[in-house]
Amino acid sequence: MDLGSDSTGRRRQTTKAGFPTRAAASKALRELTKTLASDVQITETTVSDYLATWLLSKHSLRPTTRAMYEDLARLYITPHIGGVQLVELRAHHLDRMYVAISIGVRGKALSPATIRRIHAVLRSALNSAVRRRLLPYNPADHIELAPENPKRPKPWTADECLRFLAAIREDRLYPLYRLYLFTGLRRGEGLGLRWDDVDLDEKALWVSEQITEVAGKATVGSPKTRRSVRRVALDETTVQMLREHHEAQLAERKAWQQLAAPHGRVFTREDGTSYRPEYVTKHFGALVRATGMRQVRLHDLRHTSASLALKAGVPMKVVSDRLGHSTIAVTANLYTHVYDDVAHDGADRIAALLADKPATDVSEM
């Protein structure tokens, strides 16, 4: 195929061989002609090379998100289609890749949820390639994936929460785990909390930073979304707990002869340094096992907080704001099962209220 001339006037051509039949070669030529006619740049860039360039251009990604994208590209996308030239990438390449990773070819078999995550990353990258005129269309647009079947969270009951808190009352991280249960903060939001963000007189805290972990290293950054930057109201018992925790921290700092703790974090080690997020997760798991509680994840404390709030009659909008969800729809989708229980309880209450009212004689109206 003749591609015209380059900037120096030299003739540019591209050649591809290895087709099983003349008809197959003709079909490939027609597709390439159509691509060229759509004003797409014809290059020999491979999918692997393009993904590396695309990731470098994503300047707004949070460190944890960037690390996840890099891992998905390195572990799953590149081994299967990394050598395919970007301009020749078609839906059948993706179909074969998803079949292979779903049954464990070249690695561990993946769940539908993980495959959908890989697909989302690849689709976003290819959309960018279309906008940059490197592809005529996105081959990932019309791929059919297996349903995700997400697992519904199974939070603790109020009784389980009370038993757990009573059992770990003397643990150093008791105030942190209690705060997770009473506020629904994310793991990194609790660890990133500073005393400057806490107003005990106003009974509120502000989520403005979080600590995440990338490749085993703790990183301070902004919260997950814009809505995650928020004010969270505190109850009186939590305020009192934080006052006592602050006094204990000041006494500890004095014992260590520290004038000020680094960054002024609310939850720190004895020497004032911040905890690694993964340590807090593993420590929680060890406490759950040691106390004989029903096994849940640390993140399930957030689900527990939201579920108990909804069951207590707290409006969905208030719960959504406390959790820092991007929209109230996210909260509703996550806690549909809880909301259904609340709705049935509401229906029973309305029926009971009306049942107590004597029927009005229409003739008297």
Residue of 279, 276, 182 lying closest to 232 (CA atoms): 182
Tokens (6 digits) for 227 = 């809505």
Tokens (6 digits) for 235 = 């109850």
Q: Is the confidence at residue 7, as pLDDT, over 70?
A: no
- SS3 label, residue 5: strand
Least confident residue range of 11-25, 53-67, 171-185, 190-204: 11-25
User: What band does 124 get if pLDDT is binned at 50, 70 and 90?
Assistant: very high
Contact 275, 157 (CB under 8 A): no
Per-residue pLDDT at 313: 85
Domain 158-347 falls under CATH 1.10.443.10: yes
Domain range list for the chain: 1-29, 38-150, 158-347
Tens-place pLDDT, residues 199-245: 999 999 999 999 988 877 888 888 888 889 999 999 999 999 999 99
Q: Is the confidence at residue 35, as pLDDT, over 80?
A: no
Tens-place pLDDT, residues 75-115: 999 999 999 999 889 999 999 999 999 888 767 788 888 89
Domain 38-150 falls under CATH 1.10.150.130: yes
Residue 231 to residue 205: CA distance in whole angstroms: 6
Contact 230, 324 (CB under 8 A): yes
pTM value > 0.75: no
Q: Is the confidence at residue 362, as pLDDT, over 50?
A: no
Cα-trace Rg, the chain: 28
Q: Is the confidence at residue 42, as pLDDT, over 90?
A: no
